Amino acid sequence: MRYVVGVDLGGTKTAAGVVAEDGTVLVQGQIPTKNRDGGEAILDATAVLVAFLIERAAEQGAVVEAVGVGSAGVINAAEGTVISATDAILGWTGTHITDGLTQRLGLPCAVVNDVHAHALGEAWLGAGAGAATSLMVAFGTGVGGSFVVDGQPLLGHHFVGGHVGHFASPYAYHDGAAIPCSCGHAGHVEAIASGPAIHEAYLRFGGSPSVPDTREVFELARGGDAAALKAIGVGAGAAGQAVGGLINILDPGVVVISGGLADAGELWWAAMERALRAELLAPLAHVRVVRASLGNTAAMVGAASLVLA
């Protein structure tokens, strides 16, 4: 049996596990990401975590042969570097992930963006398993996605493929003005369909400023609060319309919806799927749309698959 390490390196935490060639996770662990300390400090801490897991796996007779990483940021998968990153991880842009980890661990390494890693995990062992093509879209703090074809994510010429939160949405307007998006532009899907965007919409629709976050907006909606119901309805509608348009373009075998909003219950899911199916061309009317199933291990397992092929 072959064994590798899969790493899910995010803005707040870094999780890793020793993964067998059949997808079984032998041992795993996580640490806070040193997101204020720069790229080299993050690689140092990640290498310590990976080395610890390699030692634990060795105690069970498993020899690790490589490391796969799913990382936050726009990732040049060919060179193993971070092209750009948000301020969620300071000093991450320009970091040489694969070279840095190989030097620290003495093992070959591969890396892709963390959403692509998530999609790879779902396509291999999760909700997209068995389909030749799968489209995964994640709705959470942001909106991201990946289109996996025969086990490979489409990364794009500039490695920016999958930024599905950053095209225009007719929902992303208020009083005739485009709503600002996290990318610096305005009127995008993420500006209206992400988790934080639903909270912002709730406030725009007259909701109480004392409501702290999106989770509480959902609680209020379940109790019948009008502003909360409207905000969730708009966000879910925008999400569904966007995914429906992507389905029309890509014609995937299965569509996997992930992220915190996908797990928030039927209030969001039902509205999202109605809007999605209203967009579909006739031959796509019965496309399978499912929730992601691997949870927190998806990106770890997907990252591992990079070096198991």
Name the percent of the chain lying above pLDDT 90: 98
pLDDT digits (tens, 9 = 90+) for 163-205: 999 999 999 999 999 999 999 999 999 999 999 999 999 999 9
Give CA–CA dist 286/257, Å, rounded. 16
Residue 99 lies in a domain: yes
Same domain assignment for residues 64 and 195:
no
Residue 92 lies in a domain: yes
DSSP state of 220: H
| Same domain assignment for residues 116 and 193 | no
Residue 309 has pLDDT above 90, yes or no: no
Q: What would the pLDDT profile of 115-145 be if each residue is shown by its tens digit?
A: 999 999 999 999 999 999 999 999 999 999 9
Crossing angle of helices 226-250 and 214-222, rounded to 10°: 110
In the structure encoding, which two tokens stand for residue 83, read together? 């092209």
Task: Look at residue 126 and tell me if it is in a domain.
Answer: no
* Beta strand 64-71 pairing with 109-113: parallel
Residues 157 and 271 in one domain: yes
Calculate the CA 296 to chain-centre distance. 11
* 179 token code pair: 């709503």
3-state DSSP assignment of residue 39: helix
pLDDT digits (tens, 9 = 90+) for 271-291: 999 999 999 999 999 999 999
Rg (CA), the chain: 20
Angle value at C-alpha 21, between 19 and 27, nearest 5 degrees: 20
Same-domain check for residues 10 and 62: yes
Mean pLDDT value of segment 229-239: 98
Average pLDDT over residues 32-55: 97
96 plus 191 within the same structural domain? no
Q: Supply the pTM of this predicted model.
A: 0.95
In this predicted structure, the answer to whether residue 89 has a pLDDT above a threshold of 90 is yes
- Same structural domain for residues 144 and 107? no
Cα angle value 97/6/288 (rounded, 5°):
115
**Rounded to a whole number, what is the largest CA-CA distance in the chain?**
63
Q: What pLDDT score was predicted for residue 235? A: 98
Tens digits of per-residue pLDDT, 70-86? 999 999 999 999 999 98
Question: How wide is the angle at C-alpha 179 spanned by C-alphas 176 and 163, nearest 5°?
Answer: 135
Tens-digit pLDDT profile for residues 242-275: 999 999 999 999 999 999 999 999 999 999 999 9
Shared domain check, 166 and 74: no
Tally of domains in the chain: 2
Q: What pLDDT score does 266 carry?
A: 96
286 in the same domain as 302: no
User: Residue 91 falls within a domain, yes or no?
Assistant: yes
**CATH code assigned at 83:** 3.30.420.40
DSSP string, 128-147: TTT-SEEEEEEESSSEEEEE
**Sole residue written with tokens 């003005």:** 177
pLDDT score for 238: 98
Domain residues for 72? 3-121+296-306
Residue 36 has pLDDT above 90, yes or no: yes
Residue 221 covered by a domain: yes
Q: Are residues 103 and 184 in the same domain?
A: no
Shared domain for 50 and 136, answered yes or no, is no
Token pair in block for residue 10: 């995010």
Instruction: Estimate to the nearest angstrom the gap between the alpha carbon of 102 and the chain centroid.
Output: 25
Residue 48 counted as domain residue: yes
Q: Does one domain contain both 112 and 177?
A: no
Residue 177 in domain: yes
Strand ranges of the sheet holding 13-20, from the earlier edge strand across to the other edge? 25-32, 13-20, 3-9, 64-71, 109-113
- Residues 99 and 171 both lie in one domain: no
Q: Packing angle between helix 214-222 and helix 266-279, nearest 10 degrees? A: 90
Amino acid symbol at 112:
V
pLDDT value, residue 262: 96
